[in-house]
A and B are shown apart, each in its own frame.
Chain A
Amino acid sequence: QVQLVESGGGVVQPGASLRLACAASGFSISNYEIHWVRQAPGKGLEWVSLSWYDGSAEYYADSVKGRFSISRDNGKNTMYLQMNSLRAEDTALYYCAREVGDDSRGFYYEHFDHWGQGTPVTVSS
């Protein structure tokens, strides 16, 4: 079955770096757009980043642009999120999610059909 498992979270000081991983199973990430979404403690969901299925395009939320970088290793079926210059406001549970789209009925829609359980990141001095 489809599964996404995040890892790499931890406690770091401001200005430090972390690399999160999202290991996929039950499907090939080379056929899907994979996103990172985060949730600060007690807060709502915040979209962070997207990598197109073929890796040809990346998108970032303004809050992380220039500091975070998304990448994929199709051979390992794993997505990554490199996070540099971390700030206290980056403290959150980081989820990866698979997105699927459908245009078979004359209109297009998309959604996140599978989510991981998240990996926690705490940025604190």
Chain B
Amino acid sequence: SSELTQGPAVSVALGQTVTITCQGNSLRNYYPSWYRQRPGQAPILVFSGKDNRPSEIPDRLSGSRSGNTASLTITGAQAEDEAVYYCASRDDSGSRLFGGGTELTVL
């Protein structure tokens, strides 16, 4: 069955750049979406498609896709970016998939 693979954790110094990756065969055919989840809160969308970012999400978050890998890049990370980030996509059966989540720590 299809799956999306994310690294479990990544850290970044305040103000530096960090990239979170997501790998899976479904990404060759479907654009991913990315969600941020802070402790005790529901997930929220931060990026989707080629360049779709909700208005309330700062433009220091951006996404890209190449082959079977999607990336979420945070340029100039801030303390409020600390959270768990999930990628998601559909697969060829019509189901949806989530990655395992990447915990971002801002040092």
Contacts and interface: CB of A to CB of B under 8 A. Distances in A.
A116 interface: yes
Contact of B49 (A60, A107, A118): A107
A110 B30 CA distance: 9
Interface in B48-107: 48-50, 52, 54, 84, 86, 88, 90, 93-101
A47 B52 contact: no
Interface of B: 1, 30-31, 33, 35, 37, 42-45, 48-50, 52, 54, 84, 86, 88, 90, 93-101
Given A47-B98, A57-B94, A111-B45, 14 more contacts: A44-B98, A45-B37, A45-B88, A50-B94, A59-B93, A107-B31, A109-B50, A109-B52, A110-B90, A111-B33, A111-B49, A112-B88, A113-B45, A113-B54
A45 B98 contact: yes
Interface in A1-55: 35, 37, 44-47, 50
Nearest to A44: B101
